[in-house]
C-alpha cells in the first residue's frame, strides 16, 4: 500500500513558497494537487478564526484526497494533501516543518514570501516526512 502526500507552503499572497511530493507518485494528479490546495485556501481562512490553535486538522475533501492545514502566526499556510487519516502524525510533521520554516526566516539572505530554494530545506522536509508520514 503506497501512500502519497503532497506538501505545500503557501505565503500570505496565496502563492506557493515551497511544494514537494512525498512517496510514490501517480502522474495524473500532479497538476490536480495545486488546484486542490488552492481551492482549499478559502476554507483555511474560514477555519482559522474558529480555532485558536495553529493546526486546523482536515478542512476539506476532494474525491480521495484529504486536505489538512496548519496556519503560522504570520499567516503562512502549511498544507498537506493525504489519503490516509493520521491526525497526530500530521500534527507532529507540521510542527517540525514550522520550526524548519522559522529557521529559514532567520536566514538574513531569505526574503519573506519568496520561494524557498534551499537544498538543505528540501532534504530536511523529506527526512521529516520519512519520520512521521511513512
Partner 1 sequence: MEKQYKTIGEEAWKNNTEKINAELFIFTYGSLVVQLVKDYEDYTAVNKQLDKMGYNIGVRLVDDMMARTSLERCSGFSATAEVIAKIGFKLFLNVVPTVTNWSADAKEFSLILDDNPLNDFCELPPKAVTDGLWYSNVLCGVIRGALEMMQMQTEVVYVRDVLRGDDVSEIRVKLVRMLDEEVPASDD
- Which residues, in sequence order, are CB contacts of 110 under 8 Å at separation 6+? 104, 116
How far is Cα 91 from Cα 88, in angstroms, rounded to an integer?
A: 5
Q: Which of 107, 113, 114, 126 binds partner 1 (CB under 8 A)?
A: 107
* Segment interacting with partner 1, rule: CB under 8 A, options 21-29, 44-52, 89-97, 108-116: 108-116
- State the Rg of the chain over Cα: 14
Q: What are 17's three cell numbers?
A: 513558497
Nearer to partner 1, 27 or 111 (CB): 111
Nearer to partner 1, 91 or 103 (CB): 103
Burial pattern 80-95, b for ≥16 Cβ within 10 A else e, equals bbbeeebeeebbbbbe
* Segment interacting with partner 1, rule: CB under 8 A, options 3-11, 46-54, 89-97, 102-110: 102-110
Q: Which of 58, 83, 118, 124 binds partner 1 (CB under 8 A)?
A: 118
Confirm or reject binding of residue 106 to partner 1 (CB under 8 A).
Answer: yes
| Binding region for partner 1 (CB under 8 A) | 103, 106-110, 118, 120
Amino acid at each position: 500500500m503506497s501512500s502519497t502526500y503532497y506538501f505545500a507552503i503557501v505565503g500570505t499572497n496565496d502563492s506557493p513558497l515551497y511544494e514537494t511530493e512525498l512517496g510514490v507518485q501517480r502522474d495524473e494528479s500532479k497538476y490536480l494537487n495545486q488546484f486542490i490546495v488552492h481551492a482549499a485556501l478559502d476554507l483555511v481562512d474560514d477555519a482559522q478564526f474558529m480555532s485558536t490553535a495553529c493546526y486546523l486538522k482536515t478542512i476539506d475533501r476532494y474525491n480521495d484526497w484529504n486536505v489538512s492545514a496548519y496556519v503560522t502566526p504570520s499567516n503562512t499556510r502549511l498544507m498537506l494533501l493525504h489519503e490516509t487519516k493520521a491526525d497526530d502524525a500530521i500534527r507532529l510533521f507540521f510542527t517540525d516543518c514550522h520550526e524548519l520554516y522559522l529557521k529559514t526566516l532567520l536566514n538574513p539572505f531569505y526574503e519573506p514570501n519568496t520561494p524557498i530554494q534551499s537544498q538543505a530545506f528540501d532534504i530536511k522536509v523529506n527526512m521529516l516526512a520519512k519520520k512521521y508520514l511513512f
